[in-house]
Structure 1
């Protein structure tokens, strides 16, 4: 089952899934973003037409990937789910410096995990909304720093306790490999881990290794103007034997806090109306592409207990 902001859904109900998108994002340093910083009614009014267009294109499930302190708002997502008819999924977890509140740097692994486990079991605040997965981030570079390793280990513990999958913002093959080693030594099943922005890896030996160990590779920057290189990348991943671990999304939207009317809002439907037909015309298998937005994301995101 997938945990949405309204309730659980099965694979048939989930249908076509956008596994990594955004409704609202506020890049406010120090973890100080609050609902007082934006007009929730305006957010709903501006995002709803984009979601209705997405539903018209055949999508049924939308995974919102803003963690707490970066724009997660379960009340907005619940309204959008009710008004659009889409299944909306939110998360528990934290992002990375400099968008973390000060207590995160002093907290222990267990203290962080306890926050996320409580949300998974009891819901987010008074919203009545339960998270459907864990969203974290790792720093850029060649090795994971102390704070982000603590967050990763807390996410591993939370996943083991709750059955929720982890989506992890991960830039580059070196960081992905370091995360994989930490998970391996922790006895963590990599089938519960989604490498967000896997297109940043650029090393096909790494793709093959991590896919073979169960990790999901989220190719999530598929936007107009990028279609040719994404078709090329996806064909290479299939040829490398990583095709059964691929997820497709766009990492787009979104209402940006602090910008007039949310800034440049980009539509969500182009993956289905433009990219997939283009990819089929250019040689990718239609059935496989369908699995990358249906069965694969469902298996990657589903609650294990």
Structure 2
């Protein structure tokens, strides 16, 4: 089952799932973004038509990946879901420096995990909305620094306690491999972990090795101008034998806090109306493309007991 901002849904209701997208993002350092920095009604009014167009394209479920302090607003997301009929999933978790509150640097992994477990058990504030997954990030580079390691370990604890999947912003093979070693230490099930932005991989044998352990491989930058690049990448991943671990999304949108009327908004429907037909013409199997946004995405995002 998937946990949306309005309750649990089954695979049939979930339908097509965009597993990594954004409604609103506010890149305000030191966790200083507050609801006073934007007009919720304006955000819903601006994003609503894009959601409706996405529904017309045959997508039913939208996973919003802005974590707390970076644009997560459960009240706004619930309002948007009720107004458009789109199933929306939100999260618990934190991003990375410099968008972290000061207490993250002071608390240990158990204390951070308790915060997220509380949201998963009792809801986010008094919104009545429960998170459907854990969203975290790792720093770029060759290794994961101490703060982001602590966040990763807190996410593992939270997942084990709540059954929520971890979506992890992960750039590059070295950081992904380091995360895998940390999960190996505690025998964490890689099927609960999504490598977000796996298109950043250079050494595809790393993707192959981690997918073989069960890790989900999220290719989530499929935007106009990149279609040939992504068709070639997906063909390579199929040839590597990891087609059953692939997720597809766009990582697009979004209302940008601080810009007039949210700045330049991008549509959500093009993966289905533009990329899928083009990819099929280039030789990718239509049934497999659909599986990546239905069966695979449902399995990856399901709450597990």
Specify the TM-score bucket, using the shorter chain as the normaliser: over 0.9
Residue 16 of structure 2 corresponds to residue 6 of structure 1: no
CA deviation after TM superposition for structure 1 residue 204, in Å: 1.1
The Cα of 1:212 is off from its aligned counterpart by 0.2
Please list, as runs of the form range in 1=range in 2, the aligned pairs for 1:1-305 lying within 5 A after superposition.
1-305=1-305
Q: In the aligned structure 2, how far is the partner of 1:92 from the partner of 1:18? A: 18
Please give the per-residue CA displacement for 1:118-151, whole angstroms capped at 9, x wherever unaligned: 0000000000000000000000000000000000
Cα-to-partner distance string for 1:250-274 (whole Å, 9 max, x where unaligned): 0000000000000010000000000
Moved over 6 A (4+): none
Q: Hey, what's the Cα distance between the residues in 1 that align with 2:12 and 2:186?
A: 33
Distance 2:90 2:30 in 1: 22
Mapped partners of 2:197, 2:205: distance in 1: 17
TM superposition shift of 1:186? 1.0
Q: Structure 2: how far apart are the matches of 1:207 and 1:193?
A: 13
Unaligned runs of 5+ in 1: none
Distance 1:107 1:265 in 2: 37
Q: Distance between the aligned counterparts of 2:12 and 2:284, measured in 1?
A: 24
Deviation at 1:222, TM superposition (A): 0.3
Counterpart Cα distance in 2 of 1:202 and 1:244: 20
User: 1:202: Cα distance to partner?
Assistant: 1.9
SS in 2 for 1:218: strand
Q: Quick one: distance in 1 between partners of 2:203 and 2:33? A: 36
Q: With the length of structure 1 as denominator, give the TM-score of the two structures.
A: 1.00
Q: Distance in 2 between matches of 1:53 and 1:76?
A: 19
3-state SS, counterpart of residue 277 of structure 1:
helix
Residues paired across the two proteins, number: 305
TM score, norm. by length of structure 2: 1.00
For residue 228 of structure 1, give the secondary structure of its aligned residue in structure 2. Answer: helix
Query: Separation in 2 of the partners of 1:137 and 1:72?
Result: 15
Q: What's the secondary structure of 2:217's corresponding residue?
A: strand
Summarize deviations over 1:51-78 as a string: whole Å, max 9, x none. Answer: 0000000000000000000000001100
In the TM superposition, what whole-angstrom CA distance separates every residue of 1:63-100 from its partner, at most 9, and x where no partner exists?
Answer: 00000000000011001110111100000000000000
Task: State the Cα deviation string for residues 221-251 of structure 1 (Å, max 9, x = none).
Answer: 0000000000000000000011110000000
Q: Deviations over 1:165-204 (max 9, x none)?
A: 0000000010000000100111100000000000001211
For the residue of structure 2 that corresponds to 1:17, the secondary structure is: strand
Shift, 1:110, TM fit: 0.5
**2: CA distance between counterparts of 1:246 and 1:202?**
17
Q: Look up the SS of the partner of 1:134 in the other structure.
A: strand
Helix, strand or coil: the match of 2:176? Answer: helix
> 1:218 deviation in Å?
0.3
Shift of 1:296: 0.3
